[in-house]
Amino acid sequence: MRIRLGAVVALLAAGAALAGGMQASADSLTVKTAQGKVRGKAINDGKVKAFLGLPYAAAPVGDLRWRAPEPAAKWKGVRDATKFGQAAKWKGVRDATKFGHRCEQASVFQDMVFQDEGPSEDCLYLNVYTPASATAKSKLPVMFWIHGGGFSSGSASEPRHNGDFLPVKGVVLVTINYRLGVFGFLATSELAQEGGGHTGNYGLMDMIAALQWVKDNIAKFGGDAANVTIFGESAGSMAVSTLMASPMAQGLFAKGIGESGSGLVATLGGGALADVEKAGDIWMEQAGANSLKGLRGVTAEEVLKAAGKMGMTGFAPVIDGKVLTEAVAETYATGRQAHVPLLAGWNRDEGGMFAQKSMTTEQWKAQAERLFGERAVEFLKLYAGETNEQALRSAIDFGGDSFIAYGTWKWIEAHAKTGDAPVYRYHLELAAPPSKFHAESSAFHSDDIEYVFGTLDTRPGCEWRPEDRKLSDEMMSYWTNFARTGDPNGPGLAEWPRYDKTGDVIHLDATITAAPDTLRARYEFLESVPVLPKAF
């Protein structure tokens, strides 16, 4: 009896200890934010805690449609008086185990898939992923992700942006939604009157509001509000360069990473507000609304349908006098941007989606003459086309340069000259295997995302090789090292020299190497062209 009683006591003690450990784990999934308590979930075999669908601003619906984001409402927890001890759970703890709705958008990119419950105007949510061991005292570097999609599509719920793996490298990851297209960037004269002379850029203001939320709350999740790195791809990268130029965003981040895109070229921040307002007024009339009140009274579906007539790029950031006080390029030229370390670059085959696969040397030379006239000879020295194979490669290169690479280069160069901070430049060259949405092996536009997040297995139909997984781990280390210290270098990695000091570029391939820039002459040529023509 004594033996049996001792065994029972031991078993009960072990069970109590196990329950205590489980309770401690459960408690670590509850965090008190400025709005109220939230409860997340464990992912990646318990290595990471995920807090999904956290509101960082009020739902921009009704009269808040096309207005600057308002603070998110608070909620309060109430003790359940009908229960006792540990069973007495808190009511009013927000469930943070599911993504919030993505923002209203048209379907533009076939490779964008989502894990949320669908589109809605009530979409200003963010997600926080943190290492399982993180506490309010950890002060880990924070990486703040801004998704791409041409400012018209995308969401933080895309599987390729999942936070299962990046936090394992010792960072807190934040991914956000922001208003898109017509909902994020409509500018009209009536909106300007309502906004004290400012209109448009609601999507950018959403990003700034999310950064402010991070400043106020991220310490509770283990992050360091004084060490935030903003990073993004395509339109997200354009947003990073733009936030670095925005007076409203100053002081909310300490570093920037740009992947394939910048706001220093094209129409981003370059259109006169009066012209943009006039175009918005005309669109509003065509949409059948006689006033802003009337436009706010129609459904989101009706707004999207009317916006479709403006095309994908019909609504974009503008110089509104508040978020942006001048063209982004002018801010960098005069050194008024945020003086923070920058890591930026692009992929080798950005222009693959634009190149005519049957390109011949005759067609390429004819196109050169059509685009550049008397400067065609100079152009063909940089984008050669003596063989059909060479002509196709040049078509891919010029397509990528005119689409995204030249603008990214211009941003890097400008910040290296006036930013008073370290600059690191990369070129992603490893061609990824074919997949469901990309039939050819290439380093295409957006190819970098899964490598950076460690989410290779979310890309459908792709048979990854050891060199892909190795490069992904290396890129994750470079990116998180940079977020930690402003320097991507670390143990076990190839040395990445500062571009602003040496002019060297890191070549991200099966074997990583650093070498001087060999493409500079191409971008200097494009810089000298008064109006940059497109190859597509």
What's the pLDDT at 290? 86
What's the pLDDT at 535? 64
Range of the domain at 319: 38-340
What's the pLDDT at 516? 96
Q: Cα separation of 263 and 329, whole Å?
A: 8
Phi–psi pair at 492, nearest 5 degrees: 80, 5
What's the pLDDT at 400? 96
**Catalytic residue of the set 350, 402, 413, 427:** 350
Cβ-proximal residues to 20 (8 Å cutoff; 6+ apart), any chain: none
Q: Contact, 140 vs 156, CB < 8 A?
A: no
Q: Cα separation of 310 and 283, whole Å?
A: 8
What's the pLDDT at 402? 93
Q: Cα separation of 349 and 364, whole Å?
A: 18
What's the pLDDT at 318? 93
Q: Is residue 187 part of a domain?
A: yes
Q: Is residue 13 part of a domain?
A: no
The kind and range of the H/E element at 499 are helix 499-502
The number of folded domains in the chain is 1
**Catalytic residue of the set 435, 445, 450, 472:** 445
Is residue 34 classed exposed, middle or buried when 0-12, 13-18 and 19+ CB atoms within 10 A define those classes? Answer: exposed
Is residue 2 classed exposed, middle or buried when 0-12, 13-18 and 19+ CB atoms within 10 A define those classes? Answer: exposed
Residue among 532, 495, 531, 533 at smallest CA distance from 515: 495
138 as an active site residue: the answer is no
Q: Where are the beta strands (DSSP E) in 388-439?
A: 423-428
Q: Is residue 441 part of a domain?
A: no
Q: Cα separation of 22 and 254, whole Å?
A: 37
CA 226, 233, 221 angle in degrees (round to 5)? 35
Q: Is residue 93 part of a domain?
A: yes
350 as an active site residue: the answer is yes
Region of 457 on the Ramachandran plot (φ > 0 left; ψ -120 to 50 alpha; else beta): alpha
445 as an active site residue: the answer is yes
Q: What one-letter code names the amino acid at 250?
A: Q
Per-residue pLDDT of the chain (536 residues; tens, 9 = 90+): 343 434 433 433 444 333 333 333 557 899 999 999 999 999 999 999 999 999 999 999 999 999 999 999 999 765 454 554 444 444 689 999 999 999 999 888 889 999 999 999 999 999 999 999 999 999 999 999 999 999 999 999 999 999 999 999 999 999 999 999 999 999 999 999 999 999 999 999 999 999 999 999 999 999 999 999 999 999 999 999 999 999 999 999 999 999 999 999 854 444 678 889 999 999 999 888 989 999 999 999 999 999 987 765 678 999 999 999 999 999 999 999 999 999 999 999 999 888 888 999 999 999 999 999 999 999 999 999 999 999 999 999 999 999 999 999 999 999 999 999 999 999 999 999 999 999 899 999 999 999 999 999 999 999 999 999 999 999 999 999 999 999 999 999 999 999 999 999 999 999 999 999 999 999 999 999 988 877 66
CATH number for the domain harbouring residue 292: 3.40.50.1820
Q: Which token pair is 313?
A: 């790029």
Q: Cα separation of 353 and 125, whole Å?
A: 32
Residue among 91, 63, 60 at smallest CA distance from 178: 60
What's the pLDDT at 24? 33
Q: Contact, 142 vs 225, CB < 8 A?
A: yes
Alpha helices in 28-91 (DSSP H): none
At 65 the three-state DSSP class reads: coil
What's the pLDDT at 9? 37
Phi–psi pair at 517, nearest 5 degrees: -65, 125
Q: Is residue 372 part of a domain?
A: no
**Catalytic residue of the set 153, 155, 157, 234:** 234
Placement of tokens 């989502």 in the chain: 114
Residue among 344, 339, 346 at smallest CA distance from 413: 344
- DSSP string for residues in 37-48: EEE-EEETTTTE
What's the pLDDT at 4? 43
Q: Which token pair is 29?
A: 């999934």
